[in-house]
Chains A and B, each alone.
Chain A
Amino acid sequence: MEEYIFLDDIATADVAIESRGDTLEELFTASAMATFEVMADTCSIQPETKKTLQLENSEVDGLLFDWLAEIIYLKDSESMLFGKYNLKITKDTNYQLDAEIRDEEINQSKHDLRCDVKAITFHLFEVYQKDGKWISRFILDI
C-alpha cells in the first residue's frame, strides 16, 4: 500500500519525504500524495475533473523526478490540486508512465492551503527496492 513519512532531520529549510509502495504505481502515488499534502490538507480536495498524462524515462528514478516535476508544474500552470491517481507503469526499452489524475481548481477560500512547493530537487534523491517494497527519498524546495 501507499505510505509516506516526512523526515524531520534532513534539509532544514525544505521538506524531505520518504515514500513507499508494494509496486511502482503505489510508490509514485504515495510520492504525489505526499507532495500535495505539503501544499494542502488533501482531505479538502474534491477531485472533479480528470486529466491524463504520459511520461517516459530510461531510468526509474528519472521517471519519478519527471512525474513530481510535472504535477508541480501543473499545479501552477492549471491552478490545480490533485487528489486521486490511477497510474500504470510499464517497462519496455524505457520506463513509461500512463497517468489518469483527478483534480480540483485551487480555491483559497475553500481549500486548507499550506506551503507552496517550488520544485523537486535531486539532493539525496533515491529510488530503490528493499524487502519487496519500492522506496524513495526526495526533497521538495519550499
Chain B
Amino acid sequence: METEMKVNKISDCLWEIPKTEKEGMLVPARIYASDTLLEEMDKGVFEQITNVACLPGIQKYALCMPDGHWGYGFPIGGVAAFDTKEGIISPGGIGFDINCGVRLITTHLTVDEVKPRIRELVNELFRSVPAGVGAKGPLKVSVSQLKEIMKKGADWCIENGYGLPHDREKIEECGHIPGADPSKVSEKAISRGINQLGTLGSGNHYLEIQMVTIDNIYDEKAANVFGISKQDQIVIMVHCGSRGFGHQVATDYLRVFDKAMKKYGMTVRDRELACAPFKSPEGSDYYKAMLCAANSAFANRQIITHRIRESFSKVFDTNVDNLGIELVYDVAHNIAKVEKYKINGKEKEVLVHRKGSTRSFGPGRKELPEIYRNVGQPVIVGGSMQTDSYLLAGTEKAMEETFGSTMHGAGRTMSRSAAKKRVRGDKLLKAMAKDGIHVKTASMSGLAEEAGIAYKEISEVVETMDKLGITKKVVKLKPIGNIKG
C-alpha cells in the first residue's frame, strides 16, 4: 500500500482514512476493497480521495470503490455527494468524458450460431461503428439537430429511427436528463463533436460480443428478469461516452472554474479539482452544459445500438425482429446527478459525483423501469478485453452506504507505457484468438495498452461489493469478440 496515511479497518473490505490525516478534510475518506485490492492501490488513490474529502459541502464520506486507481482530480472509482445548497460542482469529479458509460444488449442467438460467423460479424461491426483516432460517424446532423440531441438524448434517436420506443426505459434517466441547456455549450464543443455521433472512441472503449454459460449465472431469477435465460446466450456490451463534444465541454468549464475559484475565495489541493458553488452562475452553467454532453452520450450509445441491430441483421441475413436485440440497461459512470438520500436521519438533496463509478439503485426505486423494480437496477461492470465482465443488481445497502454507487470496471494497476513494454499488440491479438476471443482494433499499440495484465482481477473487485451487499452478482459474461477503439 503506497501511503503513509493511517488507513483503519472498519470491517471486512471497508477502510477509513480519518479526518486528521490531512489538513482541511471535512469528512473521513472510505475505501471499499479486499485486503489484496487495498494493498495494490497506488498512492494516487489515497492522495486524491483525501483531497476530495476537503471539498466544500461534502456529505458523510469521500468514497472510493474497489476498482479505484490514480486519476486526475477525483481518483477513478471516486464518489462524493455535495449539499446542493452549500456544496460545489467540479468537472474534475466527473471527468472529461462526460457520461462515459456501458450498455448491455441481449440477443436470441447462441454461441453455436455466432462462433462460426464471428470474424464476419466483428468485421461488419468494425465497419459500422467507427473507432479510433480521427473516426467520424456516418450520421450527419445539423447544429440545430445536435442541439436537439443535447436536450433529448436517446429520445431524439428513437424519434428519428435509431431505436425502438421501448429502448427508452432501459436507459438510466430514460436516456435524457432534464435541464440540459445548449446555450451553455461553446461553439468549439459543437464543432468538435458534430461529426462523431455513433463512434466508439479510443483508449479503453470497446464493443464486445460476449456469451453466457449456465455455470456463470449466480441469480437465475434476476438474470431472467434482465433478459438472460438461455445456455450459451450471446450478449453485446458497449463502452463509450460523449466523445469530443463532452471533452470540450469539460475543458471549457475547467478553465472557467480555475478562474472563478478566486472570486469565491476557494482553494483546492489539486488544480484539477477546480470547482464552484453548485448554485453559482458558473456552477449552474456547467451543470446545464454537462447535461448536454450526458444526453449526447446516451444518444451516441443509442446510435451504436442501432448499428449493432443493422450489422447483426445483415450478417445473419434475417429481419432484426428475429434476433431479440434488446437493451438490458445503459449506465453512466462519469456524471454528477441530483439525488436524495437519508443523511443524519433526514432526507437531503445532494449532487452525487461519480467518476468511474456506476449508479447502483436498490429494489423499489421509482427511477427504475417497472420490470426491474423488484430485483434492483442492472449494474454493468466491464472487465478488461481478456477477462470476464459482470451483470449485477443494485441493493438497498448501496442506498444507505455509498449514495447508490458501486464500481464501474476492473480498474487499472499498470500504466499504459508499462503495459506496452510488457506486451506487443500483434502478439496479444494472436494470444486472444487462441483463447477464443476474436479482436479487431483501430490501433495495435492501443490494444497492448489495454492488455489484461494492466488491470486488477475483476472477480476480486466484484466479490468485494457482493460480499458487502452493495451489488449482488447476477451473471458473469465471457468475451468471444471485441472491437477495440
Contact = CB atoms under 8 A, between A and B. Distances in A.
Contact of A115 (B70, B73, B248, B416): B416
Nearest to B97: A118
A62 to B, nearest CB: 8
A119 B415 contact: no
B247 interface: yes
Given A77-B191, A118-B97, A119-B251, A15 B416 contact: yes
Contact of A39 (B69, B133, B449): B133
A99 interface: no
| Residue among A65, A76, A108 having the largest count of chain B Cβ atoms under 10 Å | A76
A141 B72 contact: yes
Interface centre among B133, B136, B254 (most CB of A within 10 A): B133
B44 A12 contact: yes
Interface residues of A, number: 40
B192 interface: yes
A73 B70 CA distance: 25
A14 B71 contact: yes
A123 B133 contact: no
Contact of B196 (A14, A76, A122): A76
Nearest to B416: A15
Given A9-B415, A76-B192, A120 B251 contact: yes
Contacts of B244: 73, 76-77, 118
B70 A11 contact: yes
Contacts of A107: 134
Contacts of B251: 69, 72-73, 119-120
A43 interface: no
Interface in A98-130: 106-108, 111-116, 118-125
The majority secondary structure among interface residues of chain A is loop
A142 B135 CA distance: 15
A83 to B, nearest CB: 14
A125 B92 CA distance: 14
Contacts of B254: 122
A10 interface: yes
A118 B452 CA distance: 22
Given A11-B415, A108-B134, A142-B203, A118 B72 contact: no
A65 B76 CA distance: 22
Interface string B80-118: 000000000000100111000000000000000000000
B188 interface: yes
A8 B413 CA distance: 12
B202 A6 contact: no
Contact of B42 (A12, A14, A108, A121): A12
A13 B247 contact: no
Contacts of B442: 108, 113
Contacts of B195: 79
Given A10-B70, A113-B132, A115-B443, A123 B196 contact: no
A116 B202 contact: yes
B21 interface: no
A135 interface: no
Given A73-B192, A108-B135, A115 B203 contact: yes
A130 to B, nearest CB: 20
A136 B31 CA distance: 32
A139 interface: yes
B417 interface: yes
B275 to A, nearest CB: 12
Contacts of B193: 76
A113 B135 CA distance: 11
Question: Which one of B134, B192, B270, B485 has the highest number of Cβ atoms from chain A below 10 Å of its Cβ?
Answer: B134
Contacts of B415: 8-12
B247 A12 contact: no
Contacts of B134: 75, 79, 81, 106-108, 111, 113
Contacts of A77: 188, 191-192, 244
B443 A123 contact: no
Contacts of A65: 255
B70 A116 contact: no
B418 interface: yes
A73 B414 CA distance: 28
Contacts of A121: 72-73, 92, 96, 272
Nearest to A69: B251
Given A108-B132, A116-B201, A13 B69 contact: yes
A142 B205 CA distance: 10
A40 interface: yes
Contacts of A40: 133
Contacts of B414: 12
A122 B258 contact: yes
Interface string A5-45: 01011111111000000000000000000000001100000
6 contacts: A13-B204, A79-B195, A107-B134, A114-B446, A121-B92, A141-B95
Given A10-B415, A115-B449, 13 more contacts: A8-B415, A10-B44, A12-B70, A12-B413, A13-B204, A72-B247, A72-B251, A115-B133, A118-B203, A119-B247, A123-B92, A139-B72, A141-B72
Q: Which 8 pairs show the lowest CB-CB distances between chains A and B?
A: A106-B134, A123-B72, A116-B202, A122-B271, A76-B244, A123-B272, A119-B96, A121-B72
